[in-house]
Amino acid sequence: MATISPQFILGDQSFVTKTDGDTATVVRTSTGKSLSQTEIEVAGEYYNSELDEIDYAKIYNLKFGSNFLGKLGASDEWMAKALTDKTYKEVFKKATDKTSSNISDVPPETSDIYSTLTENKDANGRSTLNVGGSILRYPLNEDKKSYDYLKVCAYEHKGRIDRGGILGGDYDIEGLVKKKGNHTVYLPMDPTGLQEGNGVNWGKGTVNPFDEAGFKLASNAIENIGGSKSKEQIMNAMKDAMGEGVKEFQNIIGGVDGSDIAAFFAGQAIGNNTLFTRATGKVLNQNLELLFSGPGLRTFNYNFRFTPREDTEAKMVRSIIKMFKKAMAPRLSKKELFLKSPHVFKLEYMFKNGQEHPFLNKIKTCALTNFNIQYAPDGSYMTYDDGSMTSYTVNMSFGELNPIYEQDIDESSNDMGF
C-alpha cells in the first residue's frame, strides 16, 4: 500500500507523493489551486477524474541519483524545471522521507542542540510550524511527538494567601491563566540541564543545663495556666510551676561543685563568660546537636544554542527570546502604584508519546530568576542577509516556588517523581 505524504507546494501548485517500495509518484492535487484545463489535456490518461488529480512524474530512484525522475502527465516545461532546480529534489526528498531527521544523535559543528543544519522546512518549502499561534518551537520539526522535548509554559502569577489568611499549599497551576500572547515553548533536551539536586537545611543547635531548666519552668507555667481560670488560680499555677523550676535548678546544682557554680554566675554577672573557663579550666556543656531548620528550594539551569537555518526559524528564535524576556519582567499595576509579580512557569520533560517522561524528574511551578543572551557566541559578529544573527546562546535559571516534601514522592509510581 502506498504511503501518501503531506501536501506541499511547488510554484503555485499543490502536490503529494505516493511512495510504494523503492519508487514514488509525484501527484498534482486540486487542493489549494484547482487543476487547469490545460493541465488536464496535457496529462491525458494520467488524469484521474474521480480523484481530480494527475500523476505528474515517477521517481524511479529514491536515492535521488542521476535520472531519478521520469515524466508521466507533467508538461515538458515542468519536467525541465524539476530536473534542473535543486529545490525540487530537496522537496521530493522530504516528501518521501528520504532525508535525515531534524534531530540527530550527533551534534553538528556549529550547534550543541543536536540539530541538523539542513533547512528546516517541510515538503512544501515552508516552516513546519504554524507560527501564527501562541505555541513556539525550536527547532521547527514537522512532528514534535517524534522526539523528546522540554515544554515550558508561562502563567500569570496568583497570590497564595486567601482573604482568610490561609496559605494555599503548593503553588499549583490549576486554574491559573496562561500568559497573553505567546505562552508555550517546545525546546530540545539540553543535556547539561538534565540534572537535579535537592537539599534541606540543618544547623548547629546548643542548649546548656540552665537553659533546659528554664525551658521546663516556662513549659510547666504555661501548661498549668492553660484554660479559663480566675486570677487566683493563675497565681497559684505560676507558684506551682516556679516551685518545679526551683527543684530543677536544685537538682542541677546539687550534683555540681559549688565553686564552679559561683564562678559561672560571676562571669555571667559581669558579662564575660570566658572568666569561668579561666578560673576553672572548664566550659559549660552546650549539648551541641545538628538540628533541622527547614527545607531548601531546587534550581534548574539550562543552556540552549539557537542556530536559525531559515528566515522563518530566525523569526521563531526571536519570538522565543522575547517571550521569556516579557514573561520574567515585573508588571506595573494600572496606576503604577504597585508592581505585580512576573509570570511563573511550568516545566515538563515530555516523552515522544506526548506524556511526561517516565525516567526524568518532575518539576514544581518555577520562577525564571535569570535570563542571559549572547548574540555573538562564536566570538565574531555575523548575520544573515535579513539581519538575523547566525547563532544565539541563551542561559536560563529557574527556581521552584515550593520545596519538595516527603509526601510528593510516591515510590510505587511508574515515574521518576519530583
Angle (CA) 176-134-170 rounded to 5° is 20
Which amino acid does the sequence have at 218? A
275 band by pLDDT with thresholds 50, 70 and 90 = confident
Q: Alpha-carbon distance 93 to 63, whole Å?
A: 9
Flag whether the pTM goes above 0.85: no
Q: What is the pLDDT of residues 123-140, one digit of tens each?
A: 444 444 444 447 898 987
Distance CA 33, CA 17 (A): 17
Facing residues of 368 across strands?
398
Q: Which residue has the higher pLDDT, 107 or 153?
A: 153
How many Å apart are CA 113 and CA 116, to the nearest integer?
9
pLDDT at site 223: 66
pLDDT at 112 over 60: no
Please, are residues 190 and 303 in contact by the beta-carbon 8 Å criterion?
Answer: yes
Closest CA to 136 of 325, 5, 390, 397: 325
| Cell (9 digits) for 163 | 482573604
86: left (phi over 0), alpha (psi -120 to 50) or beta: alpha
Cell of residue 1, nine digits: 500500500
pLDDT value at residue 141: 61
Phi-psi region of 191 (alpha: psi -120 to 50; beta: other; left: phi over 0): alpha
Domain residue extents for the chain: 3-95, 135-199+299-408, 204-293
Query: Buried b vs exposed e over 5-37: b needs ≥16 C-beta within 10 Å?
Result: bebbbbeebbbbbbbeeeebbbbbbeeeeebee
Supply the pLDDT for residue 365: 93
- Whether the per-residue pLDDT at 55 is higher than 70: the answer is yes
**Between β-strands 135-137 and 184-187, what pairing exists: parallel, antiparallel or unpaired?**
parallel
Contact status, residue 38 vs residue 44, Cβ threshold 8 Å: no
**pLDDT tens digits, 276-287:** 777 778 777 788
Res. 234 pLDDT band, cuts 50 70 90: low
Q: How confident is the model at residue 104 (pLDDT cuts 50, 70, 90)?
A: very low
d(CA 394, CA 185): 14
d(CA 177, CA 327): 13
Q: CA torsion angle for 49, 54, 59, 64 (degrees, to 10)?
A: -150
Task: Extract long-range pairs of 58-67: CB within 8 Å, 24+ residues apart.
Answer: 58/23, 58/24, 58/25, 58/26, 59/17, 59/23, 59/24, 59/25, 59/26, 59/92, 59/96, 60/23, 62/19, 62/22, 62/23, 62/24, 62/96, 62/98, 63/98, 64/89, 64/92, 64/93, 64/98
CB 358 within 8 A of CB 415: yes
Mean pLDDT of 227-252: 60
Residue-averaged pLDDT of the chain: 80
Which of 3-7, 35-39, 317-321 reaches the highest mean pLDDT? Answer: 317-321
Q: pLDDT digit string (tens) for 202-219?
A: 999 988 777 777 777 667
